[in-house]
Every structure is written in C-alpha cells, then in structure tokens.
Amino acid sequence: MPATYTFDVFSSLDGFGGASGNWGGYWGKQGPELLARRLEQYASPCHMIFGSNTFKLFSQFCAQADKYSDVDDPWGEAMHKQPATVISNTLTGVLDWPDASLERADALAVVPRLKAESTVPLRSHGSLSMNRALMAAGLVDFIQLTIFPALTGLTGQDPIFAGVEDFDLELVDSRLLDGRIQELIYRPSLHH
C-alpha cells in the first residue's frame, strides 16, 4: 500500500501563510497544546518533502536555532531529525540536513515514486506552489490546515490556495488547540 502524503500548512483565518509587520511566528498565537501536538506529529516516523524555498527557510532556522533561545520549538527539532527529500532544480551544494537527498526532477514524478517506496507517511510543511501542483495531480491524500486567530488583510503574504483547482474537502479530523487555534485535516478530491 502506498504511503500517504500530507500537505501541512499554517494559515491566518483569511488564508495567508505568513505576514509582514510585527506578527512574529505563529502570528504570536502559539500555546502549549499546539506545540505538544506538533511534537507528537513530527516525532513520529515520517519522511519530509520540501520545495527549495521552504527547505532553505527551515535549514536556516535550524542552523541558527541557538540564536533564538526564547523560541521553544521542539517539533522543529524533531522534524529536522526526519529523513527529507528536497525537490529542486536550483539548489546546489551540500544540503544542511542530517538525512536529506536532493531530487532534480519534477515533483509530479518524484512524489508518486516516494509514495510507492516509503514505509512511513510523507509530510510536507509549507512548499505552497509545489503542493498546489501535487493537489491538482491528485497526489495529496490529506491537507492539514492549522488556522490561527488572525486576519492579515493588510500584511498577509503567501495566499495558500491562490490559483488551485476546485476541490471538495472531506473533514477527517478536527481539534481545538489552546482554546483558539483550529487544526483541520481534510481529504481533498477534485470537484467535477
């Protein structure tokens, strides 16, 4: 049976993956339940899939984690210990990740092969354009959308689902974390 692929993404209520200005990480809304849930998910065996931009962000953050002593992010450390595949035609050099490989091919060719070969679930956090293409090709089994209680109409960046096909979403799990953050897990299917 092929491994499942989860597109995991953080969002403001109005659908942005980030914001400029003084919001900070998690829009300043993280709490102990969110961080414990993330650690639970990323301490379990999985195989990470990244596009080049998201990989650069995560590897830079992990390399400089000691500079951010005020940030308690054990789930990021757990994710950094998971094997990873980076799909990119632009990255060069050694990947700054303990167990990472670089695939210089289209994600639409790489992900089906990884789904067939992997003995653990595949997860991708972020990598918006790559995951939108994988959704259109029917390769995303689950969308894990974590919604933070913020509207970022003026400062929002990276609209998560901009330009995606029409999809029907089957809700397979939902959780309220820290009394304010919604985690919704959907099974997507193209709308016909």
Average pLDDT per run of 10 along the chain, which is 192 residues long? 95 95 91 96 96 80 58 80 92 82 95 98 96 97 98 95 96 98 98 90
Is the Cβ–Cβ distance between 33 and 108 less than 8 Å? no
**What does the block give as tokens for 53?**
């931009």
Which residue(s) pair with 128 in the sheet?
A: none
From CA 121, how far away is CA 19, in angstroms rounded? 30
Residue 63 has a pLDDT of 63
Other beta carbons less than 10 A from residue 27's beta carbon: 20
Record the pTM.
Answer: 0.93
Q: Alpha-carbon distance 61 to 90, whole Å?
A: 20
CA Rg value for the chain: 16
* Token pair for 95: 């990947």
